[in-house]
Amino acid sequence: MAISIKTPEDIEGMRIAGRLGAEVLDYITPFVKPGVTTGELDRLCHEYMVNVQGTVPAPLNYAPPGYPPFPKAVCTSVNDVICHGIPGDKVLKNGDVVNIDVTVITKDGYHGDNSRMFFIGEPSKLARRLTEITYECMWLGISKVKPGAHLGDIGHVIQQHAENAGYSVVREFCGHGIGKVFHEEPQVLHYGRPGTGEELKPGMIFTIEPMINAGRREIREMPDGWTIKTKDRSLSAQWEHMILVTETGYEVLTTSAGTPPPPAFIQKKDTVAA
């Protein structure tokens, strides 16, 4: 199966989906404070999607082969949770770090998938550095995207930056093609060698969403069938954007008023989301 090339109509639909996905993260930001539960954050995001945006949360009842239906609207992954944390009674406290991963489906059927890290009160030095390095990893990967580049170029820069910092790259989960389908080809690995893997072509859309552990890369699956934690209980961080391959480079589709700016070392492109 080949990687789909999106039509101009698809690309327009994905720009809208990306913006709406990012706007859910903008909306929830002021609520991510000590004392709030992950379940309350989920409820607020869900309500905003359905009642304000007219979108639908893609995770709710999502059930890939071998998984039970995901029971909530967003993923909330706290501290040593790598990804797919299920919102619930957990109360966020000073010093916690949480990833909130939002995927909306628009009325036209397009998916907008993105995630950000949030500090609860004052983070530890380690949590701050891990979160910053992971953000740089995502952006280094994004900066490699252009026609003629290979998926391995993206994985390589991410792995190199994470490991140079003394951290490790989670292998079991990766970025993915996306459109009217939530997860499609290609798999975007966050490790690899330059010049390997599929060649990028204009019109491809995929996510880059590195999961970086402060300790070892191994994972542990929780009995709920979804939650993934670090085996060694070390902290884990993740950021996610949805990227379009343009004729000259890339366009970040998950862009909103509140999108954090790229790291200073990223050259400003003429192709930013409208």
Binding site for Co ion (CB under 5 A): 101, 113, 207, 240
For strands 250-252 and 241-245, give the pairing: antiparallel
The verdict on 187 binding ligand MF3 (CB under 6 A) reads no
Going residue by residue from 80 to 109, which x/- string records binding to ligand MF3, judged by CB under 6 A?
----x----------------x-x------
What pairs with residue 230 in β-bridges?
219
Contacts of 7 (CB under 8 A, 6+ apart): 203
The phi and psi torsions of 67 (rounded to 5 degrees) equal -115, 145
Residue 78 or 124: which CB sits closer to ligand MF3?
78
The phi and psi torsions of 65 (rounded to 5 degrees) equal -50, 130
Q: Which residue is nearest to ligand MF3 (CB)?
A: 59
Residue 101 or 251: which CB sits closer to Co ion?
101
Helix/strand/coil percent split, the chain, to 5: 25, 25, 50
The verdict on 13 binding ligand MF3 (CB under 6 A) reads no
60: nearest Cα among 26, 12, 104: 104
Q: Which helix (H) or strand (E) segment is 156 a member of?
A: helix 151-164
How many chain residues are in contact with ligand MF3, going by CB under 6 A? 12
Residue 53 or 128: which CB sits closer to ligand MF3?
53
Residue 23 or 113: which CB sits closer to ligand MF3?
113
Residue positions counted in the chain = 274
The verdict on 42 binding ligand MF3 (CB under 6 A) reads no
Using CB distances below 5 to 8 A depending on partner kind, what does residue 84 bind out of Co ion, ligand MF3, none? ligand MF3
Using CB distances below 5 to 8 A depending on partner kind, what does residue 59 bind out of ligand MF3, Co ion, none? ligand MF3
The verdict on 75 binding ligand MF3 (CB under 6 A) reads yes
**Where do runs of H (alpha helix) occur along 5-150?**
8-28, 38-47, 125-143
Binding site for ligand MF3 (CB under 6 A): 59, 62, 70, 75, 84, 101, 103, 113, 207, 209, 226, 240
